Amino acid sequence: MLNDTVNSLDLHRAKDITLLEVLDKALNKGVIISGDLIISVADVDLLYVGIRVLLSSIETMESLQGRHIPKRQFK
Amino acid sequence: MGKIETNSPEMFIEEMERINSPLPERINTGPENIEAGLGKLVLTLIELIRTLMERQAMRRMEKGSLSDIEIERIGETLMKLENKVQELKELLGIKDEELNLNLGPLGNLM
Amino acid sequence: MSIYIYGIIDSNDRIDESIKGLNGIPVSYIPYKDISLVISSFNGDIQDITKIKVLEHEDVLDRLMEKFTVLPFRFRTLYNREEDVVSMLKDFYNDFSEDLGRLRNKAEFDIKVIWSGDKIIEEITSDYDRDRDISAGDESRGKLFMEQAYNKYKIDREFEERANICITVIDNFFSRFASEKKLEKLKSKNLLLDAFYLVDKERQGDFKEAFDSLKASSSDLQYLFSGPWPPYNFVRIEYGKD
């Protein structure tokens, strides 16, 4: 009985840590192709945006206001 | 997937959640948010510059290449900058973690 | 209808059609010369691809890794049009080929180490506090600020130096078995090290034994050892036309 409880706890935690480990890699690393960032009117996806985009995004925000631009190249 | 071995799953879960969670995933730049969004950007940049200035000052303290007058002046400046950033944070309702910048492979600013 | 990208493999043969990807949709392949892009069709918003779906993404790559060299794409890479996907494949073919060659027969392993960072900072801080000159009390604000900042700076530096020593010791267990490595130091006060090693198939046994030796040699560190993974950390950071 006690063993069952311990095992089910372990399984739950094992899933948590697996998810965290995989996210750690797949969310932040792996291949990205420049120009892939998708920007819609109100959302800037900051997951992998670095400082160069931050600096250019003031002008970007102004040009995006009211318009839907599906893709944008960042140099 | 079963390819993880650890002697302390709880500790790693805690640390990884701590590292991954504080950054907001999105800046909302709709028209009603645009001021706050811009404010946050500007503040982040000021904080970046302040941090770089402070680090540089510390390196020079270490080398002993600052005169007493310079120490006094730089100290006053850094102190005022720090207070100003704090003021603006409170004014705009921005939390400390929100000014953290992800510098890609260089890690986080703070 | 969008196209979800898992990664690139080093084959253009008719490949296993039974691998299921996101939402249970079978993966398919877009071949070009001697490589293929691994994709599946996706209906919906990118926001519907929640974090837990990363496990489905990884499952696909794990299956592919059994037979091929894999360049993993970042999670949540979606394209709207097939023409864009195909031209991406052609545009970056040389880069992909190069990376596939470099990564053939190798897998990524990850070692995370937790140490008692908090305790060590306390130790260092009390050492410094003990040695500090008691200030005269009539110091100007600017000078006081700088002294406090400098004190904190010295503590941080000492802390980093101790971390570097510890990290070097740990890394020495592994680096001779790896063709490439990437060390992320002090991601937090307690997460001393997140180390990624690219290890050839033939050295993976030795590599695992090295981990056993490390475990045996230290009792006050916590470890997390994981792998083999597709080489997320050893593909180029970003493929782009510069």
Query: How far is the C-alpha of B67 from the C-alpha of B69, rounded, in Å?
Result: 5
My answer on whether C75 and C33 are in the same domain is yes
C183 falls in which pLDDT band (50, 70, 90)?
A: very high
In a domain, C229, yes or no: yes
- Among B37-51, C128-142, C145-159, C189-203, the range scoring the smallest mean pLDDT is C128-142
- Which of the listed residues C87, C104, C121 is the one where a domain comes to its end? C104
CB C38 within 8 A of CB C5: yes
Percent with pLDDT over 90 in chain B:
35
The answer to whether A33 faces chain C, any CB pair under 8 Å, is yes
In a domain, C239, yes or no: no
Mean pLDDT throughout C205-233? 94
My answer on whether C11 and C76 are in the same domain is yes
C197 falls in which pLDDT band (50, 70, 90)?
A: very high
My answer on whether C56 and C127 are in the same domain is no
pLDDT tens figures, C96-121: 999 999 999 999 999 999 999 999 99
Residue located via tokens 């360049």: C71
My answer on whether C123 and C228 are in the same domain is yes
Q: Using CB atoms, which residue from B11, B68, B79 is nearest to C145?
A: B79
Query: What pLDDT is attached to residue C137?
Result: 66
In a domain, C93, yes or no: yes
pLDDT tens figures, B35-87: 667 777 888 888 888 888 999 999 999 999 999 999 999 999 999 999 988 99
Q: What's the domain range around C139?
A: 108-233
Per the structure, the count of domains in chain C is 2
My answer on whether C84 and C180 are in the same domain is no
Look at C237 and B104 and tell me if their CB atoms are within 8 Å. yes
Query: How far is the C-alpha of C204 from the C-alpha of C198, rounded, in Å?
Result: 10
My answer on whether C120 and C204 are in the same domain is yes
- Which of the listed residues C104, C132, C158 is the one where a domain comes to its end? C104
Query: What pLDDT is attached to residue B20?
Result: 74
CB C4 within 8 A of CB C39: yes
Angle among Cα C187, C199, C223 to the nearest 5 degrees reads 40
Q: Which long-range contacts (CB under 8 A, 24 or more apart) does A52-60 make?
A: A54/B41, A54/B44, A54/B101, A55/B45, A57/B29, A57/B41, A58/B38, A58/B41
In a domain, C77, yes or no: yes
What chain C residue is nearest to A39 in terms of C-alpha separation? C46
Q: Using CB atoms, which residue from A26, A35, A38 is nearest to C72?
A: A26
CB B37 within 8 A of CB B28: yes
The answer to whether A55 faces chain C, any CB pair under 8 Å, is no
In a domain, C164, yes or no: yes
My answer on whether C19 and C134 are in the same domain is no
Contacts of A29 in chain C (CB under 8 A): 72, 74, 232-233, 235
In a domain, C112, yes or no: yes
My answer on whether C148 and C73 are in the same domain is no
- Which of the listed residues C104, C136, C163 is the one where a domain comes to its end? C104
A37: phi > 0 → left, psi -120 to 50 → alpha, else beta; which?
Answer: beta
My answer on whether C47 and C151 are in the same domain is no
My answer on whether C33 and C80 are in the same domain is yes
Count, residues in chain A: 75
The candidate with the shortest Cα–Cα distance to C133, out of C143, C120, C121, is: C143
Residue C233 has what DSSP assignment? T
ipTM, two decimals: 0.87
My answer on whether C31 and C129 are in the same domain is no
- For helices C141-174 and B34-63, give the axis angle rounded to 10 degrees: 90
The answer to whether C71 faces chain A, any CB pair under 8 Å, is yes
My answer on whether C62 and C155 are in the same domain is no
In a domain, C7, yes or no: yes
In a domain, C160, yes or no: yes
**Chains with at least 3 CB pairs less than 8 angstroms from chain C:** A, B
